[in-house]
Structure 1
């Protein structure tokens, strides 16, 4: 990856010296990473130098006591938890799952434990609610409650890891999937004025449960997840929540066809590095979240100091998404040198009027994408299916505690190979999108730019090759275009 930075630097230097004969399309196409240069297949052994414009990141591989135990497939999945507890009681160490097939209920990691799945080890989780009881404290879609938690869970642990070349598979057909709550949005089911300890969903107190993520540590410090493959999630795949110092690298995630099958969701966590992951998902590939509605405001924990780099989003709703549950805000997020190919949307910012939050101090650099719908998308209203009349900008809403906001966002060196909309912005009248800069964007698409409810939007040194190069705008102020070239593409081409 260091070579990519050298190429970008040389291109920038050539331009600064007056060599402007190289078309922007070629400059970016030559300099930016391609799909075969990012993702899990290119994972280096050690973490390369980490940089963010917002914070000084330092991430180091964890160490564990020199204490090892192992599991053979024929010992049964119940032995996994017993041996984890035994190693933890002795001070920590490594539990090795050797090559073979394992079936287990929920596994809870303890401090100073590395669960290592060697290549050929396949850990499949059971299908019934009883396999994930008793309920545990968790956060589901941004709301705190007690339910099934996660297939691999931890609460308050320090120095934990899940590593190796093995595979983790979520529950199949059974009561977990059959009894998952899907009939309404969660804030209509779990009321914010109900004490958290009374929000119990075990399949008995209510006829439904909230499904387990595959891996979801909560309130943990120093979390390392590396190398494994994940499939058939019942819900989101990897969800560090209220965690600090998290590294997620070299994962292969496949949840195609699974509703709400997000790949990696960073939830109200701090100091996070995500790198060299390959994602094919049934929902968003990588997402930043920070709580939902009044419950998220009560907790008030942002997702902050986050770096995402060298990842490949090969299928999913969004390559990288912020929202739509961000009541605690997403801030100081830096995403660079990633490829999004075949996703519905490339980079997406989502809020909803009843959910609050948003984000600020966010930067994207050196991104290549080929997408189905919008390449760069702000969607602050949502759908009536989820939020009723509030999904319409014609529905007047006064500013309140849940009014979302996005501001101070920079996008630079973005190559859009194909899209329907290169840039599509839908803010909200009472809280317009503010202070967004687009710098050195090459975009091909059907439509160039759509703007609603925005101010101080700046585009510079960019080129767009579209069937429709008109600007569709409503309630926009401070739109600036400097050295932006628009070329109308013949629809027959």
Structure 2
């Protein structure tokens, strides 16, 4: 036997034993990145290769024709964009403060916001007409689309260090549909080209996102700051090869003010972003209800790294609109600050979908309501009686499901609930591995409707150390210490 191999093996064993002598909380606290080491302020000039358990790819910065034009305040932004596109593309540089209607990007265009520039959008419905094809909360329709919109474009970018500001007070906000859930408003049996919401066919509209390319390939968004959105901030939908990096988002106090929502898109990298949002910071979605099933496009090959979710409803969320499924999702080396939930999995019985093959590694959570949260039922105000696990529902086309989830190397500084799982009786949560977690909180573990849940090599310091289980099978706790006081 090779002596060098034996020496190496002994060294590895001794290293493991040495690590085990150090409490897991100190190991993780030392090893995991902190908020001041990630986020927009720490973005390197070029991204590293994407290395995921599910896929890998080299990130290629887009190139554009050498052609360049400059747009000054009171210039026609769209006119200059169209002219540049007609010549074969190039870079349009924005300088100064612009107050504009909707902008539509075309192929081979880089919209660059110069340092100190401001791109502010007007606030009336007429500023976003005619209606465009879009997807709003997972349902296809024709409405206002986005402040910066693109459909079917290839090789587009929004770069620079300027600010993008959404509409202020006006009809865009006052006429937004808020009186019901969208699936009760937009009939899934109505042909998509007849689902028109322009403020005239009905007394409401579906609001514009801030940046929402749809059916696009090679999308690059870098360096800009986003504020005051009327709806979700950045929403790539039906897109491929998307990079979002070094973006700052501020939407605190804005209902449905999600930061970055990845909708039925493939090969997406989100890195070095800093998010303060009125809803989820980063979310993966894939369509809603029967309309999402009709489209049947997953979100897949998603990588999120080195992001700081400072404030929001969820640090990272999958759902709740995932009819086409979320799969091959890898989130690592992120920090979640004062978010209501750290890692959240959401489905709803009437919305379908879910996800599989999902991995989280090296995540630090600072002060959250729930750290690891599965919420597959929802609230009665949205789904009625189906929000109760006691309300019997037979399996159907919209029955959601989550499975094959790995969570490893997590430091939870403070939480009310360390692990809270609410599956659904007819489709239990399956195959979850939770490894090397230190959690400090009020309650340790609550599980309903789940199967094959493994928690190992972890320490929890909680006021309530009890384990609540309802309809749970194959719950394994291996080398888990749960205590009321720190050792």
The answer, yes or no, to whether TM exceeds 0.5 is yes
**Given the alignment, which residue of 317, 332, 338 partners 1:336?**
332
Q: Deviations over 1:175-230 (max 9, x none)?
A: 00000000000000001000000000000000000000000000000000000000
**Given the alignment, which residue of 443, 450, 453 partners 1:454?**
450
3-state DSSP of counterpart to 1:60: coil
Q: Within 5 Å, which residues of 2 pair with 1:115-134?
A: 115-134=111-130
Partner residue of 1:386? 382
Cα deviation for residue 415 of structure 1 reads: 0.2
Q: Within 5 Å, which residues of 2 pair with 1:22-421?
A: 22-73=22-73, 75-76=74-75, 79-98=76-95, 100-421=96-417
The 1-side partners of 2:452 and 2:249 are apart by 38
Cα deviation for residue 398 of structure 1 reads: 0.1
Cα distance change on mapping 1:236 and 1:92 into 2, 3 Å: same
3-state DSSP of counterpart to 1:453: strand
The 2-side partners of 1:467 and 1:137 are apart by 51
Cα deviation for residue 13 of structure 1 reads: 7.7
The 1-side partners of 2:469 and 2:377 are apart by 16
The 2-side partners of 1:369 and 1:38 are apart by 14
Cα distance change on mapping 1:254 and 1:14 into 2, 3 Å: farther
The 2-side partners of 1:14 and 1:46 are apart by 38
3-state DSSP of counterpart to 2:51: coil
Gaps of 5+ in 1: 1-10
3-state DSSP of counterpart to 2:231: coil
3-state DSSP of counterpart to 2:84: helix
The 2-side partners of 1:15 and 1:332 are apart by 32
Cα distance change on mapping 1:119 and 1:473 into 2, 3 Å: same
The 2-side partners of 1:20 and 1:489 are apart by 20
Preserved contact between residue 440 and residue 460 of structure 2 (Cα < 8 Å)? yes
Preserved contact between residue 345 and residue 371 of structure 1 (Cα < 8 Å)? no
RMSD, matched Cα: 1.3
The 2-side partners of 1:47 and 1:373 are apart by 32
3-state DSSP of counterpart to 1:447: strand
Cα distance change on mapping 1:39 and 1:19 into 2, 3 Å: closer
- If the length of structure 2 is used for normalisation, what is the TM-score? 0.97
3-state DSSP of counterpart to 2:115: coil
The 1-side partners of 2:13 and 2:116 are apart by 48
Cα deviation for residue 59 of structure 1 reads: 1.6
Preserved contact between residue 48 and residue 59 of structure 2 (Cα < 8 Å)? no
**Given the alignment, which residue of 439, 442, 445 partners 2:441?**
445
Q: Deviations over 1:432-453 (max 9, x none)?
A: 0000000000000000000000
- If the length of structure 1 is used for normalisation, what is the TM-score? 0.95
The 2-side partners of 1:258 and 1:477 are apart by 41
Aligned residues: 477
Partner residue of 1:20? 20
Gaps of 5+ in 2: 1-10
The 2-side partners of 1:333 and 1:237 are apart by 21
